[in-house]
Structure 1
Amino acid sequence: MVDKISLVLCVVILYVLIDLKKAKPSSAKTAHSVVMDTSALIDGRVVDVVKSGFLQRKIIVPKVVLRELQLLADGRDPHKRERARLGLDMVKELQSVKGVTVAVDSYRQNSTQATDEILIQLAKSRKAVLCTTDFNLNKVADSEGITVLNVNELAQVMRPKILPGELIEVKVIQKGEGRGQGVGYLEDGTMVVIENTTPKMRNTKVSASVERMIQTKAGKMVFARFETDKKTRN
């Protein structure tokens, strides 16, 4: 759960991303609506931002997105079926938020057009912001001069800063590649490699001192050392 302070910071950064992102100036100034794609609805996090009352923009849910969610919800894959049903529930939640208008848009498209292409054309025609967590769609929209709201980028910016020497608590979930190394993850998904661990510490939360951080293509990694004078706990 995002506490009130983090939520306020989250919304401030959200507006910065929308208004200052390197897209065509006219797009950022005239965008009054937000087009939701399938990935954003399945993700669900943007709904919390809308429900907070700070994102007072018209929400456009394309009919093609609803159809895609319905097909997935009726499919055989249990994981996709569950996520799609969550996406449909998110649409209902958005419709129940006071002060927010949610419109289902039946944008005319050719039968041969892919969903992503339809979303791009819809955002252009409505001069709207496109909300997605899809990496490829994000890149295409950027190249087309469409302002994109990507919740993953927002979450990345909101990750807490960790400094060398700082003590962190992390659960050791598996053995690392090196001798005496354990691997765990912070709440935001950041991988932590912990030195000076033992096999008995598996599935145990330990206190570790941060030594350094590195940035990789997959994200940030933290290297820390288990503090032997600190007690471990389950």
Structure 2
Amino acid sequence: MLKKILRGLFTLIGGTLGYILGEWSINHNFLTALGISTILSLQGILFIIFSIVLIGLIFYFISPFLSATIINSMDYLEKRVQKVPVSDVIFTVLGAVVGLVISVLISSLIRVESVIITIITIIVTIIIMVLFADISLKKKEEILNMLGNMKRLPSGKDGKNKNNAKEGSKVLDTSVIIDGRIFDLCQTGFIEGTLVIPSFVLDELRHIADSGDGLKRTRGRRGLDILNKIQKELNIKVEIWEGDFKDINEVDSKLLKLAQLLNGKVITNDYNLNKVAEFQGVPVLNINELANAIKPVVLPGEEMEIQVVKDGKESGQGVAYLDDGTMIVVEEGRRFIGATITVVVTSVLQTAAGRMIFAKPKDA
């Protein structure tokens, strides 16, 4: 049916074009050699009819090829559009419309009428439309977040509370979810606001959980279990952020970008991410730093009872651990491996990895 309609349209277009060409030829005296000088003469009318029929028939016979080209193009375009999310199509069209409006406003300021100026104006209009469509598509996530924040603008006391809650968003990275201590920390009530879990972090966890490496697979599944426990067992708001930043490849960079958009903070135990976030001015809550900060303070000269579990790196040294994982290096403690002894603290070393305590046996 569509092919028949297109064939009829092309034939009509051909006949119309034949009429225009026939009339134009007569008016410009291209057929004076045939004695045709005016459109009102019988020869002129016959020539126009001849032009209509000739070009109409030409278009009629070539219309199947033109129709096939149009139908194939429509099928190709339809298949491509079906793969594109509706939101991308909407933002592309909106961007193109904005570009068209701006180009029309600019062109209205040009008073010179010329064919060259008209062609240049059309080209510039197309360029501006494509440019704004591309910008609108790439900035889709930022525009959506901006609109979402506008809906949450403070209006009186309730609006202020909502805005503060939004600013209290905590974005979780993959490492801190797998680590598992975030569950215990939230359980204590020290974490306030909304826990934001980006969809690209969930994707990364799923890839780790499906890994062929047994260790990675265990870590990924542990992370997913932690998220389920947080959602089911804790009285804290958890939000899954469904967006993505397609122009950014690294997950860490996406996390920092999301924290900036939400005006929130990133919770992590990744040392490198911590440093990059400091450089970009993004607030970070590092669980390792928190753990080091709340470890009990030990001063030189204090006594403690420990169990030496293994030998140290240096000759004669023994190694023990406190309940919080702090390492204690015991001078001349190798002979006490497996025994519980009393030691005296000699010095405390604070490193980026944590705190290390040096001690010696009390009776030594």
TM-score w.r.t. the length of structure 2 is 0.51
Determine the C-alpha separation between the residues in 2 that align with 1:62 and 1:216: 32
Contact conserved, 1:173 with 1:183, CA < 8 A, in 2? yes
Aligned residues: 201
- Taking only aligned residues, the RMSD between alpha carbons, in angstroms, comes to 2.3
Choose which of 139, 146, 169 in structure 1 pairs with 2:282: 146
Distance change >3 Å, CA 194–CA 32, structure 1 → 2: same
Shift of 1:111: 5.9
Deviation at 1:179, TM superposition (A): 4.7
Which structure 2 residues correspond to residues 32-47 of structure 1 after superposition, within 5 A? 32-47=168-183
Contact 2:301 2:345 in 1 (8 A): yes
Larger Rg: 2
* Partner Cα distance (1:119, 1:179) in 2: 46
Match of 2:340 in 1: 205
CA shift at 1:214, angstroms?
2.9
Structure with greater strand share of residues: 1
Question: What residue identity is the alignment partner of 1:203?
Answer: G
In the alignment, structure 2 segments of 5+ residues that lack a partner are 1-163
Query: Is the 1:107–1:122 Cα contact (8 Å) retained in structure 2?
Result: no
Alpha-carbon deviations, 1:138-176, whole Å to 9, x = none? 111111111111100000101111122212122222223
Distance 1:39 1:177 in 2: 29
Map 1:6-17 → 2, pairs under 5 A:
none
Q: Distance in 2 between matches of 1:219 and 1:97?
A: 30
Partner of 2:312: 176
For residues 157-172 of structure 1, what are the structure 2 equivalents within 5 Å? 157-172=293-308
Q: Secondary structure at the match of 1:225?
A: strand
Change in Cα spacing, 1:212 to 1:98, as seen in structure 2 (3 Å) is closer
Structure 2 residue matching 1:169: 3-state secondary structure: strand
Aligned AA (1:204): A
Q: Flag as ranges the 4+ runs of structure 1 deviating above 6 A.
A: none
Contact 1:35-1:130 within 8 A present in 2 as well: yes
Name the aligned partner's letter for residue 60 of structure 1. Answer: V
> Does the 8 Å contact 1:56/1:99 carry over to 2?
no
Q: Displacement, 1:54?
A: 3.8
Q: Which moved more, 1:142-151 or 1:95-104?
A: 95-104
Unaligned runs of 5+ residues in structure 1 are 1-27, 230-234
Identity %: 38
Contact 1:38–1:68 under 8 Å retained in 2? yes
| Mapped contact 2:171–2:264 kept (Cα < 8 A) | yes
Cα distance change, pair 216–81 in 1 and its aligned pair in 2 (3 A): same
What is the CA distance between 1:121 and its match in structure 2?
Answer: 0.9
Residue in 2 that maps onto 1:124: 260
Tell me which residue corresponds to 1:135.
Answer: 271
| 1:161–1:141 Cα change, 3 Å | same
AA aligned to 1:223 is F
Aligned equivalents of 1:188 and 1:172: distance in 2? 15
> 1:76 deviation in Å?
1.9
More helix by share: 2
Asked if 1:83 corresponds to 2:216, the answer is no
Q: Compute the displacement of 1:188 (Å).
A: 2.6
Cα distance per residue 1:8-60 (max 9 Å; x no partner): xxxxxxxxxxxxxxxxxxxx997321101101101111211212234231111
| Compared CA separation, residues 98 and 165, structure 1 to 2 (3 A) | closer
Higher relative contact order (CA 8 A, sep 6+): 1
* TM-score computed with the length of structure 1 as normaliser: 0.77
Matched-pair contact (CA < 8 Å) for 1:37–1:119: yes
**In the TM superposition, what are the counterparts of 1:29-108 in structure 2 within 5 Å?**
31-108=167-244
Work out the CA distance in 2 between the residues paired with 1:165 and 1:64. 50
- CA positional deviation for 1:217: 5.3
Is the 2:248–2:254 contact (alpha carbons within 8 Å) kept by the matching residues of 1?
no
Q: Specify the code of the residue in structure 1 equivalent to 2:204.
A: E
